[in-house]
Structures are given as C-alpha cells and as structure tokens.
C-alpha cells in the first residue's frame, strides 16, 4: 500500500525532499533530489480543510456548516493554509476608525452583538 510522502521531517520540522522514485510496474528507479509540491508540505489537518473548502466551492458559510465551526475559525484556517503555502500577506489590520464605526452601530442598535463581534474579528 502506497503512503503519502512526508512534507516535513517528523523529528525537526524541516522540509523533506524525495531522493528516490520507483515504478512497481516496470522496475525503473530514479535517484536524485526532487522537490515536493507545496501541498505536500501541508499538515493533514490543513489538507482536510482544503478538501472541505473546495467541496464547498469556497463558500465560507457552507464550510462553517460542514466543519461545525464559526466564521472566524474558517477564516483563521484559511489564513493558516495560505501562510503554509507561502502567501503570507493577509488582509490589512482593521483601522481604529472602522472599529469605532462598528461599535457605534452596535451602540445604536444597528448591529447585534454577534454581528459586531464577527466584523471585529475579520
């Protein structure tokens, strides 16, 4: 039974490389230094999240339902995967003016507490 290649060393956490590829059908073996794809370096949990995200066609509300987690949790998991794939840039931090607008709307009854919390966590 074939096993998935490890993307990170289980001892030190460094990136692994494949040094030997074999074909069971014809017996060909190739040795060298081969890079793993970026997705191979994701953790099992990250790969599972990506699978659900794709299954839900990127619809965050559907991902929330599928995983039984909140909107901020889905966003955090997505940021985690993006970072692991090398996309370190995230959204700009919320300005203090935007925070004040959200809190003013909450104070004025235009937003519920849950809506305001979700907006502040984004």
Of 40, 44, 19, nearest in space to 30 by CA:
19
Q: Digits of tens for pLDDT over the chain (122 positions)?
A: 667 777 778 888 888 888 898 998 999 999 998 887 888 888 889 999 999 999 999 999 999 999 999 988 899 999 899 988 888 765 566 677 788 888 888 888 988 988 888 888 87
């Amino acid at each position: 039974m074939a096993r998935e290649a490890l993307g990170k060393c289980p001892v030190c956490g460094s990136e692994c490389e494949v040094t030997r590829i074999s074909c069971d059908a014809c017996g060909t073996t190739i040795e060298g230094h081969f890079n793993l794809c970026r997705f191979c370096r994701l953790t099992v949990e990250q790969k599972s999240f990506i699978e659900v995200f794709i299954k839900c066609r990127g619809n965050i509300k559907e991902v929330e339902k599928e995983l039984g987690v909140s909107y901020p949790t889905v966003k955090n998991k997505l940021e985690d995967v993006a970072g692991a794939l090398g996309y370190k840039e995230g959204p700009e931090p919320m300005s203090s003016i935007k925070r004040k607008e959200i809190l003013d709307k909450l104070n004025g009854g235009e937003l519920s507490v849950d809506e305001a919390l979700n907006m502040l966590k984004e």
